[in-house]
Amino acid sequence: MGITMNFRFIVFVLVLLSFNCPLFSAEPNDANYCVPATGVFKQDVARYLKVSFDDAKKTYFNSDNLLLLLLAGGGSITLHDKADDTIADNFRDHRSIPKDLDHITDLAGNPGIHFAATGIWYWMAAKNKDDLNVQRSWVMLRALGVTSVTTLMLKGIVQNHTPNGKNWAWPSGHTASSFCVASVLHEFYGPKVGIPAYLAAGFVGYRMMDSGDHWASDVLFGSVLGYVVGHAIAGENKQIEFAGFKVQPLVTTLHAKPSAGIALAKRF
């Protein structure tokens, strides 16, 4: 019961922010223009926390981003209440990923590996005076930082256990970080890189459930969190899109009752 109440408290906070966020911040994603990396390690490290904090404000005080997170939070509550146990039992009885592949996927989805790989990317670009890749690695580091801190904060609030008894299940940090990486790569390189990256991130999420390391509700919210943060920070004032369609909030009536959701819009 306490776990579900904590889920609902977080969703309640998202609802409040979604109605009040215009009071707090200007449009998101302009940080990429205002705070470029210098390529000098000490200078960029000194600014990293402040820039990442500004990124977090611009991400989470945006109504469209909050709506997606709110919907994901609602989906997590539904899965947690009605389907998590059944899904976990099914994975436990029908494990499908071989041990070696399981280990490789666990490493590939680890946020620490993502930070290390991006740090090497930044170091090599700075050494070669490749400003384009300095800036891209800088943005990736910022997005990973916001995703990781948010994930840890939510884990500390909810404090539930995984199907195999580990602590701090919700949301899945591996899944959130993997979808963050995929979203940033999508912004930088387009669908040719983005789609395979999303598929890889999805497989990381599948592995987390197959191994019993996470519930389906953990993976659902983690994937949306990483997607939102990655696109918001790397998007450079772009609206969030899905398959070429803009993601927009939708308020309408259903059976004479008000309903809220999302709409996919595209101009031809």
State yes or no: pLDDT of 244 exceeds 70: no
> 216 vs 241, which has greater pLDDT?
216
Runs of H (alpha helix) within the chain: 2-20, 31-34, 41-60, 63-82, 84-93, 99-108, 111-127, 131-158, 173-189, 191-210, 216-234
Cα separation, 243 vs 246, in Å, equals 9
State yes or no: pLDDT of 249 exceeds 70: no
* Tokens encoding 53: 């904090």
Strand, coil or helix: what is 121? helix
* Per-residue confidence (pLDDT) for residue 35, from 0 to 100: 75
* Per-residue confidence (pLDDT) for residue 26, from 0 to 100: 36
Cα separation, 94 vs 16, in Å, equals 41
* Per-residue confidence (pLDDT) for residue 33, from 0 to 100: 47
Q: How confident is the model at residue 243 (pLDDT cuts 50, 70, 90)?
A: low
State yes or no: pLDDT of 187 exceeds 60: yes
Cα separation, 176 vs 79, in Å, equals 17
Q: Which residues contact 27 (CB under 8 A, 6 or more apart)?
A: 58, 62, 237
Task: Show the CA angle centred on residue 156, arms to residues 151 and 160, nearest 5°.
Answer: 100
Q: How far is CA 47 from CA 38, 44, 142, 238, in A?
A: 10, 5, 11, 24
Query: Which range has the top average pLDDT, 54-63, 197-206, 256-265?
Result: 197-206
Average pLDDT of the residues in 163-182: 96
State yes or no: pLDDT of 86 exceeds 70: yes
State yes or no: pLDDT of 202 exceeds 60: yes
Omega prior to 171 cis, within 30 of 0: yes
State yes or no: pLDDT of 37 exceeds 70: yes
Q: Virtual CA dihedral for 40, 120, 238, 268, nearest 10 degrees?
A: 140
**Is the separation of the CB atoms in 148 and 111 below 8 Å?**
yes
State yes or no: pLDDT of 267 exceeds 80: no
Q: How confident is the model at residue 5 (pLDDT cuts 50, 70, 90)?
A: low
* Per-residue confidence (pLDDT) for residue 236, from 0 to 100: 61
Mean pLDDT for all residues in the chain: 84
Average pLDDT of the residues in 2-16: 54
Tell me: the pLDDT tens digits for 139-149?
Answer: 999 999 999 99
State yes or no: pLDDT of 253 exceeds 70: no
